[in-house]
């Protein structure tokens, strides 16, 4: 069975994913191809073409097209809850009751146009909508490889109406236990505070998470933002998760997801790139609130299942909150947590397709890695160099990992472009900027001169699997940079550039089986540093998508202070470095 998953249901992060006989063979986000971060308002034409071309599948051979957005009937409590909670905005109240499937119909029109434009299924493909949170749930559960009864958690902004999902999976079937509906959204609340703290919703939440360790969560009581009794919760829509007439508007007329009453309570909205008082404490407080409410709800709705199985799967945008995930792992009844690496809405292309594939009788194969995008040959990398306007001088090298390790050991950042592009927001060693984490100031240099982002932002380590248990003090699987761990004694001194303010690291544990070339590079660096750890951040500048092609890599290289780029076996060094080396030799 050939099943194509298409996402883009909520106007951001469109993607495509392809399953063949239950195996995920390709997946990619549209933003990477069109170079527009989050690709808002777009559908995944280029990502779909890539998936089909990579698999050698003709568009007309697709059997089923799936989409993570379903029709919600008037009898559903979701629409009535939405209408009741938005009484203060009559247009939304009436919309929820009388035209609650408007977005569904719009999505279907756009999806059918894509199907027609690309001739998918030659006009005969079966189109199957899947509820948004079922797609999130399936993306985690069906690809986890977990057996038996498994707890399933989904938290995001919202799908059709649902914002939070509690359920379980057993024998391939997903069962709902409880859902919460808009505007009662933990993801939405965190997003509203993200806007208040000066970042863009759907993009800056991880910045709030990175800011939080600098603050004191006890300094301010944020309990007035939410009514919560360990069983249910209601967001205070006089302060946050607001629409229409309750929105705060700045001088330009731009509206935000919080109200003027929040400004009256907490003071002016944060501006600029510095982390300062009291905003660091606000970040710490909203992070603490998210963690406490989520853990309490997990105990109530999933506690019995966790006692029975110890396994939990988590998806939705909030599943990328690595500090929350650390606390879930620390839960006394949790043995293992699986977070699908593209846990936000891009991953619902995987989830919708895996859900339908399972329903149609395919046995879903567990996810082995996130390297699901395009790859490029040495010849394609050379061709990109020859055609680039900067006319880079390139060199074909014999041992790329060894040469890369020497560059890093000498104290230089390195642009590392290898193999298939990652699916999801984390660079996992194929589209990465790398550094030696023992080199003082390397993180500041990358932040300020290469990525052009806030100087306080932390960096993550990729760690050899044989080193990780000592550094992270656990053998919990961590292949996707979706968890933080407390760093073991002595490691903060050994690799200070990848240990955050609170003594934790958001780690990727690298295995030779999954990524042998990256593993070899880290081993080569270990010979110089003795650590078996490398600093790894995504190959992009602030506000841009992660690099996809060799041309993208060259544009990034020449648009920053990067000096070394290795694309497969092709080394590019900036002329300024070559001239400096030549002068030293004289």
Residue 318 pLDDT more than 90? yes
- Residues 208, 105, single domain; the answer is no
> pLDDT confidence of 458, banded at 50, 70, 90?
confident
pLDDT digits (tens, 9 = 90+) for 13-54: 999 999 999 999 999 999 999 999 999 999 999 999 999 999
- Is 156 within the bounds of a domain? no
Summary mean pLDDT of the chain = 96
Residue 579 pLDDT more than 60? no
- Identify the bridge partners of residue 325 per DSSP, sorted by sequence position: none
- Identify the bridge partners of residue 167 per DSSP, sorted by sequence position: 152, 176
If we measure between CA atoms, which residue out of 177, 178, 202 comes closest to residue 190?
202
Mean pLDDT of 144-150: 97
Given 12, 81, 132, 136, which residue is catalytic?
12
If we measure between CA atoms, which residue out of 459, 545, 527, 523 comes closest to residue 496?
459
- Is 176 within the bounds of a domain? no
- Residues 391, 472, single domain; the answer is yes
- Is 169 within the bounds of a domain? no
- Residues 460, 328, single domain; the answer is no
> pLDDT confidence of 295, banded at 50, 70, 90?
very high
Percent of the chain with pLDDT over 90: 93
Cα(207)–Cα(185) distance, rounded to whole angstroms? 19
Taking the mean position of all CA atoms in its chain, how far away is CA 357?
A: 24
Residue 315 pLDDT more than 80? yes
Instruction: Confirm whether pTM is higher than 0.85.
Output: yes
If we measure between CA atoms, which residue out of 161, 137, 177, 155 comes closest to residue 77?
161
- Residues 273, 256, single domain; the answer is yes
- Is 394 within the bounds of a domain? yes
pLDDT digits (tens, 9 = 90+) for 344-402: 999 999 999 999 999 999 999 999 999 999 999 999 999 999 999 999 999 999 999 99
Looking at residue 442, its pLDDT comes to 96
Looking at residue 275, its pLDDT comes to 77
Looking at residue 272, its pLDDT comes to 86
How many domains does the chain contain in total? 3
Residue 255 pLDDT more than 50? yes
CATH of the domain at 49: 3.30.420.40
pLDDT digits (tens, 9 = 90+) for 512-550: 999 999 999 999 999 999 999 999 999 999 999 999 999
Looking at residue 578, its pLDDT comes to 57
If we measure between CA atoms, which residue out of 506, 568, 514 comes closest to residue 538?
506
For the record, the structure tokens of 292 come out as 């406490």
Mean pLDDT of 288-307: 98
CATH of the domain at 561: 3.90.870.20
Backbone φ and ψ for 312, nearest 5 degrees, come out as -140, 140
Question: 88: exposed, middle or buried (C-beta count within 10 Å: 0-12, 13-18, 19+)?
Answer: middle
CB 498 within 8 A of CB 437: yes
pLDDT digits (tens, 9 = 90+) for 157-176: 999 999 999 999 999 999 99
Specify whether 12 is catalytic: yes
- Is 370 within the bounds of a domain? no
- Residues 423, 538, single domain; the answer is yes
> pLDDT confidence of 140, banded at 50, 70, 90?
very high
Cα(437)–Cα(205) distance, rounded to whole angstroms? 25
Boundaries of domain holding 122: 2-77+86-144+345-359
What single DSSP character describes residue 18? E
- Residues 560, 472, single domain; the answer is yes
- Residues 117, 260, single domain; the answer is no
- Residues 111, 135, single domain; the answer is yes
- Is 174 within the bounds of a domain? no
Looking at residue 111, its pLDDT comes to 97
Cα(292)–Cα(290) distance, rounded to whole angstroms? 6
- Is 172 within the bounds of a domain? no
- Residues 273, 400, single domain; the answer is no
Mean pLDDT of 428-457: 92
For the record, the structure tokens of 70 come out as 């379903």
Looking at residue 586, its pLDDT comes to 44
If we measure between CA atoms, which residue out of 319, 502, 518, 327 comes closest to residue 417?
518
Looking at residue 273, its pLDDT comes to 81
- Residues 299, 315, single domain; the answer is yes
- Residues 352, 262, single domain; the answer is no
- Is 289 within the bounds of a domain? yes
For the record, the structure tokens of 469 come out as 């248990």
Expressed in percent and rounded to 5, the helix, strand and coil fractions of the chain are 40, 20, 40
- Residues 53, 193, single domain; the answer is no
């Amino acid at each position: 069975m050939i099943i194509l998953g298409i996402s883009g249901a909520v106007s951001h992060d469109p993607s495509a994913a392809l399953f063949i006989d239950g195996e995920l063979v390709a997946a990619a986000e549209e933003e990477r191809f069109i170079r527009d971060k989050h690709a808002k308002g777009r559908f995944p034409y280029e990502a779909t073409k890539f998936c089909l071309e990579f698999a050698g599948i003709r568009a007309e051979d697709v059997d089923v097209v799936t989409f993570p957005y379903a029709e919600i009937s008037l009898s559903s409590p979701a629409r009535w809850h939405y209408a009741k909670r938005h009484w203060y905005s009559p247009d939304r109240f009436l919309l929820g009751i009388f035209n609650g499937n408007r977005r569904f119909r719009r999505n279907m029109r756009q999806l059918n146009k894509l199907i027609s434009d690309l001739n998918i299924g030659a006009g005969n493909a079966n189109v199957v909508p899947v509820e948004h949170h079922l797609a999130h749930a399936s993306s985690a559960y069906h690809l986890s490889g977990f057996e038996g009864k498994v707890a399933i958690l989904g938290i995001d902004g919202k799908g059709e109406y649902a914002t939070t999902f509690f359920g379980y999976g057993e024998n391939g079937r997903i069962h709902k236990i409880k859902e919460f509906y808009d505007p009662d959204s933990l993801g939405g609340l965190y997003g509203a505070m993200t806007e208040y703290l000066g970042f863009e919703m759907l993009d800056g939440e991880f910045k709030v998470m990175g800011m939080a360790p600098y603050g004191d969560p006890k300094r301010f009581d944020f309990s007035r933002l939410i009514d919560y009794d360990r069983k249910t919760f209601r967001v205070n829509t006089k302060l946050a998760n607001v629409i229409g007439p309750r929105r705060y508007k700045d001088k330009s007329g731009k509206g935000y997801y919080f109200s003027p009453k929040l400004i009256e309570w907490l003071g002016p909205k944060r501006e600029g790139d510095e982390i300062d008082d009291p905003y660091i404490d606000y970040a710490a407080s909203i992070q603490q609130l998210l963690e406490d409410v989520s853990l309490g709800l997990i105990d109530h709705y999933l506690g019995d299942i966790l006692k029975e199985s110890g396994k939990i799967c988590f998806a939705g945008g909030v599943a990328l909150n690595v500090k929350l995930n650390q606390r879930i792992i620390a839960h006394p009844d949790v043995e293992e947590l699986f977070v699908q690496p593209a846990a936000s809405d891009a991953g619902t292309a995987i989830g919708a397709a895996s859900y339908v594939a399972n329903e149609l009788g395919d046995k879903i194969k567990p996810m082995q890695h996130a390297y699901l995008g395009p790859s490029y040959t040495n010849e394609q990398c050379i061709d990109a160099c020859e055609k680039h306007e900067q006319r880079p001088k390139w060199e074909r090298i014999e041992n790329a990992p060894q040469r890369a390790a020497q560059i890093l050991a000498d104290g230089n950042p390195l642009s590392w472009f290898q193999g298939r592009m990652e699916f999801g927001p984390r660079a996992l060693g194929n589209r990465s900027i790398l550094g030696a984490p023992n080199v003082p100031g390397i993180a500041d240099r990358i932040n300020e001169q290469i990525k052009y982002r806030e100087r306080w932002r932390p960096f993550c380590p990729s760690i050899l699997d044989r080193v990780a248990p000592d550094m992270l003090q656990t053998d919990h699987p961590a292949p996707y940079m979706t968890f933080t761990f407390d760093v073991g004694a002595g490691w903060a001194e050994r690799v200070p550039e990848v240990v955050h303010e609170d003594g934790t690291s958001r780690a990727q544990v690298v295995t030779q089986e999954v990524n042998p070339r990256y593993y070899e590079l880290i081993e080569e660096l270990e010979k110089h540093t003795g650590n078996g750890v490398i600093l790894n951040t995504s190959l992009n500048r602030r506000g841009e998508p992660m690099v996809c092609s060799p041309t993208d890599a060259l544009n990034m290289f020449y648009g920053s202070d990067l000096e070394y780029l290795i694309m497969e076996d092709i080394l590019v060094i900036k002329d300024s470095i070559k001239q400096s080396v030549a002068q030293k030799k004289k």
